[in-house]
Structure 1
């Protein structure tokens, strides 16, 4: 589950990186291909909203008897070592005929346009970044969950709740990272849980971020803004206005890295080279801040498996994590 900071740093009102990073709407899929219907044809994958569902999930009783329809249709591509299961398209909102000719082709079926309309009937669960009131929730036949409700209210409010708070198991849900979820022919394993897509090593966006970071550190915020603005313009959803950057400070750099590079495993190095762990953890991860040891945690641990395979592990050292008597330097 993402940290509270990873959620709050996004503003989906303009930033499409939100739904390209996290999946927050969940539904079913159909298989209209007559030769491969192990999931079931379109009609067989619709779910009827019953009185027990209405009661358990607090759905407005006026939706009793209504159906939740599939969002995606899947097809089978045979051949090779195993069959491939890939999306054949997305069912348009309001289209309930089950006619595969009506399917829409999209670049990435995992990416669900945000926000999900209140009258959308293709999803069972929708997680809202903005707080929806009970009155707003009552307008939808899907189960609406405010993301902020998933976090605790204690000192460590950045942590997810671990027990029921609304009579359901919603506490087990969280916005799911989908950046590396591939969905094209050749990427899915036969069990639908193996993805074979390429891993991104470095992207053009990271070059822009590094340039902006360098300019900011050289006390040239105007130059830094010139490198950040193209990323933000690219991320702006149609019809929205890209927010003005203002003065590019170190925190602005950190936040833009968090939005653009979420899940890409580079923010430890970013905070290390700015010597910013103490400040940022105190703001956004109080539990980690409590246990942070600058004498140790500015360095990565050395694998014990590696140390046990060399003859001079005490001389080599473990960066202070306690596997060897000393750091080794």
Structure 2
């Protein structure tokens, strides 16, 4: 995947994409993972498809892994980084919270269904100085781990972080984020695809991963209701754009699946398929089925793809 011009400007955080509009989105995390898995043994789960809970894969407890997680809404959400190693989940939260939000609880519960003997620790890391850089820090924490450097022991040069991430995207390479001059602990570090445990100079309190006191079923139900509401609102907003920019007579009811903003065909191995989040959790249709067939059972008619303003939507047309 190559980042769109808009997404590149978001990384730079300049002009109209400064301030609150400079927060990284799923596209930036997706492209970072493309780089990550090209140079290491790590391969994060896609944060877009994970929004459909049935897509969350169970973690292999015998392997280390890195994962970025998002919680909240696109306007008021937060990115974190987690690192699993030897039955311990290390949480790197750039506002140093000591608990997980509901969305992250749902995800971790599904990733770790067998929680016996697992521990979780909330690490103390560099504090972000605004409300926009959480994704930037989540990626920088992941990169530090790749280079076998504990994120708890370093201070990034915040003024250089966005420029460095831009360079990583442009060159499709992975390299340590710049540190403050007084905190250059990298030294000469060589990349290892399967590295040893990140060394913690400080000892952090490890808690049992016990979610038995939390009503996960209720959290998931609330999450799905909110997701459906958000997606419906986005569909309705785009419906207004479709009506004003397209001569086709489109009814709101004819909008079926909402495809997350800015996803493109590179997201699934360049095979001209698109990843989709269904507006309803009960909707099982897969993109490859839609691409290969003119109709899906009796409930679907011919599906066309309209490309408007760099957004892809499935529209159910009367055929």
* TM-score, length-scaled by structure 1: 0.28
- Between structure 1 and structure 2, the one with the greater Rg is 1
Structure in which a larger fraction of residues adopt helix? 2
